[in-house]
Chain A
């Protein structure tokens, strides 16, 4: 789980740059940091980078709260960012070093979780939508009905990712709620009924299913955009839909930890990933958008044109950030979720 991976150390030898430039310890999601980009960073700055993986926001937060972690940079999801800031775990960006905040696309600059980007910069962002094998069903796919009221052709062939927050958000939007943390119990009643009614037509609630979609074992489901793109590249029949009633948008954000030991190096790294060329390397590796203006021209063509990555204009407004819910609402959601999976 917590595999340590030292990247790019070997390259230093050839460049003649001293390792005296110091080091940088990044705490990030697994398989999420482009090794080529890290190599480039080390080449340009002489800073040696060590990456440690985490597997969930909860793990990351719990570990940093304990202190004594030795990390400089962390990459939390938007819904957790405010909690990180409130607990004083992050330090404000040093605009002397982080000079290129202007490269962030305007729509990702003024975000609720970090207005004006005082603490964080975009790492990768994506959406949770539906994926459909169009050889089985050729109707409208921009709807949550794909998994809530599946058409006959798809019933029994549906996979729903076991991400409570994403599934709840889509269901809340589908029954007319405006926030995934709503305290309107009538909405939750409808959400529960919809989900309970839909579940018998689901085949599985599983994560790692790109191959199963490509092979046709699974006909449709709730899925992430990047993974859907990878599945489509293996099977042209697969298409990604954005429910018009609303779908979750997420963004992971890089930030410098308050007790970082290499603050200056960390700030240098933050500014480094704000460069379009470098941000594009992240996207080419992780297969999600990055929120940096002008990065498209450095991205692989299959990505900069992918309908999974570039949201069609008329569907963009339906995408919403899901906030973290207060505990009493979280308990309601967990209770419905438990009932659903009992």
Chain B
């Protein structure tokens, strides 16, 4: 066996796990999306494209002849995508100064600040979300405090609003933006920043034409890390949003649970995957293009 053979052998366990744990279930989901629903869940082994049809189109329940776009599904898909975009944006705006702050500390202190940023990962997501709920509910900490100080007379309805969902999502995903941004800033050559000032560039020009282009890969990696899990987010919108509107994750869950239509759920899962892969491909394109380009 040559050198190459050995290398392959070393990667065999990882490949084996990947094939088994990723491709296997994925294939099953793909196959299920082309079958018919079984009784009370499960599938029956009859080929059907009905599930894929129903992801996008709906037959009017009162007049099956009438076929229209399934606006309910499309509204829910779009809500998930929009919420993820907003979350990504908020995380980027909050994450940049945070990462900058950490990256400009002395090397010894940096480790401490990074450690603080990872603390939320120690606690279960569900518990953290309920903690936020406790803070913002009508008889919760914030409202009680404001009323006690006399700032408001009636509690402000914060829980079960879009605001609550955004706060929760930004909180949950912020570290995923800060860490890659920090990694990019850590490698940033600060002599370039100084050179910018030496050439009489304003602070704004240095930020726009020196710092931002250099940390762009960090922004892109962070955005992908935030966007992808955010689009499938399930718990946070449900608990903080009050469940009056569904996200893609809830809609998929519905088909496997109370809706008892596994093929439809499988088709929606595949669609979610396609959206995520699409986002990743955009990422790769942007990164590849951005390689040699420098402005300013």
Contacts and interface: CB of A to CB of B under 8 A. Distances in A.
Contacts of A6: none
Interface string B47-89: 0000000000010011000000001110110000000000000
Given A185-B61, A342-B245, A337 B256 contact: no
A164 to B, nearest CB: 5
Given A58-B256, A342-B245, A332 B61 contact: yes
Q: Say what secondary structure dominates the interface of chain B.
A: loop
B41 A206 contact: no
Given A58-B256, A58-B257, A188-B61, A205 B71 contact: no
B254 A334 contact: yes
Nearest to B256: A58
Contacts of A337: 254, 258-259
Interface in A283-342: 324, 327, 330-332, 334-339, 341-342
Interface string A200-228: 00111110000010011100000000000
Interface in A46-62: 56-58, 61-62
Given A58-B260, A324-B40, A205 B242 contact: yes
A163 interface: yes
Interface in B139-189: 139, 159-160
Interface residues of A, number: 39
Interface in A82-117: 83
A326 B58 CA distance: 19
A338 B251 contact: yes
Interface string A108-128: 000000000000000000000
Given A58-B260, A203-B160, A217-B137, A341 B246 contact: yes
Q: Say what secondary structure dominates the interface of chain A.
A: helix
B244 interface: yes
Interface in B18-44: 37, 39-42
Contacts of A40: none
Contacts of A69: none
A336 B72 CA distance: 10
B261 interface: yes
Contacts of B238: 206
Contacts of B39: 83, 327
A199 interface: yes
Interface of B: 37, 39-42, 58, 61-62, 71-73, 75-76, 137-139, 159-160, 238-239, 242-246, 250-251, 254-261
Given A206-B160, A330-B259, 19 more contacts: A58-B40, A62-B41, A62-B42, A80-B40, A83-B39, A162-B243, A163-B258, A164-B254, A164-B258, A189-B62, A203-B244, A204-B244, A215-B139, A216-B139, A334-B255, A338-B251, A341-B76, A342-B75, A342-B245
Interface of A: 56-58, 61-62, 65, 80, 83, 159, 162-165, 185, 188-189, 199, 202-206, 212, 215-217, 324, 327, 330-332, 334-339, 341-342
